[in-house]
Amino acid sequence: MDYFIKIKPGVNIYINEINPLGRKTILFIHGWPLSHRAYEYQFNKLPARGYRCIGVDTRGFGNSSKPYSGYDYNQLADDVRYIVDALNLKNFTLAGHSMGGATAIRYMSRYSGYGVAKLALFGAAAPSLTKRPDFPYGLPKEDVTEIIQATYNNRPQMLKDVAPMFFYKPITQALSDWFFQLGFEASGWATAECAKTFRDEALFSDLAKIQVPTLILHGIHDRVCLFPLAEAMKAEIKNSILIPFENSGHSLFFEEQDKFNMELEQFVG
């Protein structure tokens, strides 16, 4: 079923919930610049296995409201808390891809993991997507700045250019069109502001505050959130497990969907 959760006047978050009576709940947060529909190949399978799957369009993306501000990690984590409270979620698995993974980490830190039994991170943009003086493993900040500038100047071309970065192997025109369609549902300003967030913000101090079992799934060929980010998360998050995806880039939930679904199901239990 589909519905909206009101965060505040003028800001409504779109929810796609599948199998509301499922035995265990997974709340999925998508990555930039996509929407809940990126998890299509999880929503096709996991509800049939007895899971309640809740897909969220974060503010500015998909079917959600597109306010002009509020795209830092704190606000995005606050939005997740509104959703958790509105749905009275307890003992659920919080799952996030890319920037959605970073948002999930900030939620765990900011709200002491309220309601969360387990955390699942997929190609997460943490502890820092970009290089820093004491963290040489991310992308050059200049690369993200170019994406931001392209978003302001020619967003359709930016989406076309960025799409191949998400995948390990060369992609078909159909897959490029799918990526473009999901990305173009977002607002231009949200696309740019979120890119500024994952360029400039970091989550080093958040990782040690995570106190629940954590699954880290990461493509070894990821060209967006490089694989050393996964190793850094594994080193800092207590009770975490890292599973490399040998044949995936940033879109491991698509490129190795059977393995992805199996690992997630086994982890959630």
Catalytic residue numbers, as ranges: 98, 222, 250
Rounded Cα distance, 129 and 134, in Å: 13
- Cα dist from 184 to 35, 61, 73, 209, whole Å: 10, 9, 22, 35
Rounded Cα distance, 20 and 22, in Å: 6
Q: Which helix (H) or strand (E) holds 118?
A: strand 116-122
Beta strands 11-18 and 2-8 are antiparallel
Burial 111-148 (b: 16+ CB within 10 A, else e): eebebbbbbbbbbbbbbbbbbeeeeebbbeeeebeebb
Rounded Cα distance, 157 and 43, in Å: 29
Provide the token pair at 66: 């597109």
Strand order in the sheet with 11-18: 2-8, 11-18, 51-57, 24-29, 92-97, 116-122, 214-219, 240-245
